[in-house]
Amino acid sequence: MKKAFKIFGIFILLLIIGIVSIPFLFKGTIQDKVRYLINEHVNAKVDFANIDISLIRSFPQASVVIDNFSVINHAPFEGDTLAYSKRIALDMSVKELFKSASEPISVKKIIIDEANIAIKTDSLGNSNIDIAKKKDTNPEPVLEEKNSSFTFDLDHYEINNSKILFKDDISKTILSMTQLNHSGDGSVSGEKIILDTKTNTEASFSLQNTEYLNRNKLNLDAKIELDLKNQKYSFKENKALINRLPLEFSGYVQLFKKYTDVDLSFKTPSSDFKNFLAVIPEAYVKNLDGIQTSGDFLIDGIIKGKSDDTYIPKMDIKIISKNASFQYPDLPKGVKNININTQIKNDSGLIDDTYVNIDDLTFKIGQDSFAVRGSLKNLTKNMIVDMMMKGTLNLAHLNQAYPLQLEEKLNGIVKADIQTNFDMLSLEKEQYQNIKSSGTVSLSQFTYASPDTPNEIKIENANVSFNPGTITLDKMQASTGRSDLNATGTIQNLMGFLFAKQDLKGNFDVNSNVFAVDDFMVGEKESEDEIANSNTKKVTEDETMRIPSFLDATLNFNSKKVYYDNLEMENTKGTVKIKEETAFLENVSSNIFDGGIALNGNVSTKNKVPTFDMALDLSKIDIVKSFNNLDLIKGLAPIAKALTGNLNTTVKLNGNLNENLIPVLTSLKGEALAEILNAQVSTTKTPFLSKLDNQLNFINIDQLNLKEIKTNLSFNDGKINVKPFEFDVKGIKITAGGQHGFDQNMNYNIKLDVPAKYLGNEVANLISQLDQKEANAMTVGIPIGISGNFKNPKIDVNPSQAIKQLTQQIVEKQKDKVKGEIKDKGAEILSDLLGGKKEKDSTKTNTEETIKNTAKDILGGFFGKKKKKDSTKTNN
Distance of CA 158 to the CA centre of its chain: 44
Whether residue 158 contacts residue 183, with contact meaning beta carbons closer than 8 Å, is answered with yes
Look at residue 666 in the predicted model and tell me its pLDDT. Answer: 83
Dist. CA 453–CA 779, nearest whole Å: 67
Mean pLDDT of 520-533: 45
Distances (CA, A) of 194 to 92, 151, 180, 185, 346: 20, 17, 21, 8, 32
374 and 413 together in one domain: no
In order, the DSSP letters of 345-389 are EESSSBGGG-EEEEEEEEEEETTEEEEEEEEEESTTSS-EEEEEE
* Cα gap 105→107, rounded to integer Å: 6
Q: What is the DSSP letter of 638?
A: G
**Domain end marker among 674, 697, 723:** 723
Predicted confidence at residue 2, as pLDDT, reads: 46
Residue 135 pLDDT: 58
Helix, strand, coil fractions of the chain, as percent rounded to 5: 25, 50, 25
| 836 burial level (CB within 10 Å; 0-12, 13-18, 19+) | exposed
Q: What is the pLDDT of residue 580?
A: 87
Q: What angle do CA 838, 841, 847 make, to 5 degrees?
A: 130
Residue 133 pLDDT > 70: yes
Asked if the structure places residue 224 within a domain, the reply is no
Measured distance CA(692)–CA(686) in Å, rounded: 10
779 occurs within a structural domain: no
What's the whole-number mean pLDDT along residues 777-797? Answer: 80
Q: Is 875 helix (H, G, I), strand (E, B) or coil?
A: helix
Both ends of the chain: CA-CA distance in Å? 167
**Which of 766, 859, 761 is CA-nearest to residue 806?**
766
- Are residues 711 and 612 both part of a single domain? yes
pLDDT at residue 549 above 70? Answer: yes
Does 515 reside within a domain? no
Same domain, residue pair 335 and 293: yes
Distance CA 746, CA 789 (A): 5
Q: How many CB atoms lie within 10 A of CB 324?
A: 21
Over residues 391-417, mean pLDDT: 83
Mean pLDDT of 65-86: 88
**Residues β-bridged to residue 177:** 164, 203
Burial of 496 (0-12, 13-18, 19+ CB in 10 A): buried
Indicate whether 559 and 611 sit together in one domain: yes
Specify the pLDDT at position 653: 87
The Cα 202–Cα 449 span in angstroms is: 33
Q: Report whether 567 contacts 591 (CB < 8 A).
A: no
Which among 166, 161, 203 has a CA at the least distance from the CA of 183?
A: 161
Whether 151 is in a domain gets the answer no
If asked whether residues 497 and 448 sit together in one domain, one would say yes
Among 723, 738, 770, the domain-final residue is: 723
Q: Which of 464-473, 497-506, 842-851 has the highest mean pLDDT?
A: 464-473
* Domain-embedded: residue 253: yes
Per-residue pLDDT, 210: 67
Residue 197 contacts residue 223 (beta carbons within 8 Å)? yes
Least confident of 41-45, 582-586, 842-846: 842-846
Say whether both 370 and 428 belong to one domain. no
- Rounded distance, CA 787 to CA 692, Å? 12
Phi-psi category of residue 846: left, alpha or beta, with phi > 0 → left and psi -120 to 50 → alpha: alpha
Question: 338 has which bridge partners?
Answer: 324
Contact assessment for residue 244 and residue 278, using Cβ atoms and an 8 Å cutoff: yes
Tell me whether residue 539 is in a domain.
no
Q: What is the pLDDT of residue 540?
A: 44
Alpha helices in 719-798 (DSSP H): 760-767, 772-777
Least confident window among 572-576, 616-620, 760-764, 795-799: 760-764
Task: Using pLDDT thresholds of 50, 70 and 90, give the confidence band for residue 7.
Answer: very low
Q: Do 840 and 849 touch, CB atoms closer than 8 A?
A: no
The yes-or-no verdict on residue 411 having pLDDT over 50 is yes
Q: At what angle do helices 842-863 and 760-767 cross, to 10 degrees?
A: 150
Number of domains in the chain: 4
Residues 458 and 370 in one domain: no
Q: What is the pLDDT of residue 527?
A: 41
Residue 871: pLDDT over 70 = no
Question: For residue 105, what pLDDT is reported?
Answer: 66
pLDDT at 685: 67
Tell me the CA distances in angstroms from 136 to 101, 133, 139, 140, 141, one per residue in order: 22, 10, 5, 9, 11
Same domain, 271 and 366: yes
Q: Is residue 218 part of a domain?
A: no
Supply angle C-alpha 298, 299, 305, rounded to 5: 150
Report the pLDDT averaged over residues 632-637: 75
Q: What percent of the chain has pLDDT over 70?
A: 70
What is the average pLDDT value for the chain, to the nearest integer?
76
Choice among 74-83, 524-533, 581-590, 677-686 with the minimum mean pLDDT = 524-533
373 and 445, same domain (yes or no): no
- pLDDT at position 52: 80
Give the chain's count of helices (H) and strands (E).
Answer: 14, 38
What are phi and psi for residue 138, nearest 5 degrees? -120, 70
Distance (Å, whole) CA 156 – CA 173: 31
- pLDDT(380) > 50: yes
CA angle (316, 320, 321) in 5-degree steps: 175
pLDDT for res 163? 92
**Res 142 pLDDT > 70:** no
Residues 501 and 434 in one domain: yes
For residue 383, the one-letter residue type is M
Contacts of 777 (CB under 8 A, 6+ apart): none
Asked, for residue 354, whether it belongs to a domain, the answer is yes
CA distance 256 to 231: 8
- Residue scoring higher pLDDT (118 or 18): 118
State how far the Cα of 529 lies from the Cα of 518, in Å rounded to an integer: 25
Cα separation of 120 and 278, whole Å?
A: 32
Selected residue with higher pLDDT from 635 and 178: 178
Model pLDDT, residue 668: 85
DSSP 800-818: HHHHHHHHHHHHHHHHHHH
pLDDT at 147 over 70: no
| Percentage with pLDDT > 90 across the chain | 14
pLDDT at 349 over 70: yes
What three-state secondary structure class fits 454?
coil
pLDDT at 22: 46
> CB of 258 within 8 A of CB of 308?
yes
CB 329, CB 366: distance < 8 Å: no
Alpha-carbon span 825 to 850, nearest angstrom: 12
Q: Do 654 and 603 share a domain, yes or no? A: yes
Domain span at residue 847 reads 814-834+841-875
Q: State whether 658 and 560 are in the same domain.
A: yes
SS (H, E, C) 407-419: CCEEEEEEEEEEE
